Amino acid sequence: MRERAAQPFNSVIITFVFTALYLTSDQFIDPAIAALGKGNKQYDAAIAHLTSGLGLAITVGGIFVALLAPVLGQRADATGRRKAWLGVTTALLIAVGCAAWVLAFGWAVFAFVPEVRRGDERAKPVSVWAHIVLWMKGYRVLWRDLMQLWQTERPTLWFLLASAVYRDGLAGVFTFGAIIASKSFGFSNQDVILFGIAANLIAGISTIVAGRYDDRLGPRAVIVAALGLITISGLIVVAFHSVGSAIFWIFGLVLSAYVGPAQAASRSLLTRVSPRGQEAEIFGLYATTGRAASFMAPGMWTLMITITGATIWGTLGVIAVVAVGLVLLLLVRTPADRGTI
Mean pLDDT of 157-170: 91
What does the pLDDT look like over 304-316, one tens digit per residue? 999 998 999 999 9
- 93 with 3: CB under 8 angstroms? no
Q: What is the pLDDT of residues 276-321, one digit of tens each?
A: 777 767 777 787 777 777 889 999 999 999 999 899 999 999 999 9
pLDDT tens-place string over residues 228-261: 999 999 999 999 999 999 999 999 999 989 998 9
- Domains of the chain are 2-337 (1.20.1250.20)
pLDDT on residue 324: 96
Q: Residues 96-153: pLDDT tens digits? A: 655 565 566 566 666 666 655 544 444 455 555 665 666 666 667 667 777 877 877 7
Q: Which long-range contacts (CB under 8 A, 24 or more apart) does 104-113 make?
A: 104/5, 105/1, 105/2, 105/4, 105/5, 106/1, 106/2, 106/5, 106/6, 108/1, 109/1, 109/2, 109/83, 110/83, 110/86, 113/83
The per-residue pLDDT for 129 is 64
What is the C-alpha separation between 38 and 26, in angstroms, rounded? 10
